[in-house]
Amino acid sequence: MILYPNAKINLGLSVLTKREDGFHNLETLFYPVDAKDVLEIVESSDLSMHQYGIEYPGDPMDNLCVKAYKALKEDFDIPPVDIHLFKKIPVGAGLGGGSADAAFTLRGLNEMFSLNLPDNKLAEYAASLGSDCAFFIYNRPMLGTGRGEVLEPVEVPALEGYEIRLVYPPYFVSTAAAYGGIVPRSRWEEMGWEVDPRSVMEILAQPVECWKDSLVNDFERTVFAKIPQLAAYKDELYAQGAVYASMSGSGSAFFGIFRK
């Protein structure tokens, strides 16, 4: 079976509070985009993982695709598989490539072995693998809350008539490093920072031209402080005519929204 796991962008990303479990409560809109990896799953005599394309750090057997297989294997008597992954979505770019690969592995195994798991059950397995994995089970615009695993389908009519372009700067931003410097919005007042009381969805309900100064990715403040060169990529998208531009997720990729 061959699948094509796609990337996502975040339309707004508010880090609201730090939780007792060490994670953060978020509000963001996950939006699928067309950048894709290539994933092949083949029944085999032994479990194996093969990676190609963009170099992916670490032991291949620690890949989220393998963890997705093992999660299902705990509950279902499925045979071993060979997993072949051709990486095209950059790593450490905030585009969810690893999460997409894992979610598509779950979806592929579900179909290959006729497990007949509904999307909500697959999303439970996905959420155990990563905060944004569950989104890729549904793979449509979703409002994400909690740590990103609480999902609600939404429409974004404001984007009709626009196209999205991605930019991949040559910088790696680890999720841990991005979160390490984040200041939750619950502390912004004590920092002397202005807090917009509107929710992400309230801002997204406006025309795209109104998003520039109000739809914010809170990680930009943290990541730009660590890698100042990244701010220039956002500025360049606006210079090219984008009506809105932002870093995606915890970085380092950027997207621009342009009129078609």
Residue 46's Cα: distance from chain center in Å?
30
Integer Cα distance of 24 and 4 in angstroms: 30
- The one catalytic residue among 8, 37, 87, 234: 8
- Going from the C-alpha of 223 to that of each of 174, 195, 217, 231, 252, the distances in angstroms are 10, 19, 10, 9, 8
In what side-by-side order are the strands of the sheet with 254-259? 162-167, 254-259, 244-247
Integer Cα distance of 23 and 45 in angstroms: 38
Q: Are 10 and 96 in contact (CB under 8 A)?
A: no
The structure tokens listed for 5 are 């796991």
3-state secondary structure of 172: coil
**Quick check: is 67 catalytic?**
no
- The one catalytic residue among 101, 132, 218, 234: 132
Name the nearest CA neighbour of 125 among 83, 90, 115, 91.
Answer: 115
**Quick check: is 132 catalytic?**
yes
Q: Are 25 and 147 in contact (CB under 8 A)?
A: yes
Q: Are 173 and 252 in contact (CB under 8 A)?
A: yes
User: Is the N-terminal amide bond of 48 cis, ω within 30° of 0?
Assistant: no
Name every residue whose Cβ is closer than 8 Å to that of residue 30 and which is 6 or more positions away in sequence: 8, 9, 10, 96, 132, 135, 141, 142, 143, 144, 148, 151
The structure tokens listed for 140 are 């449509």
The residues carrying an active-site annotation are 8, 132
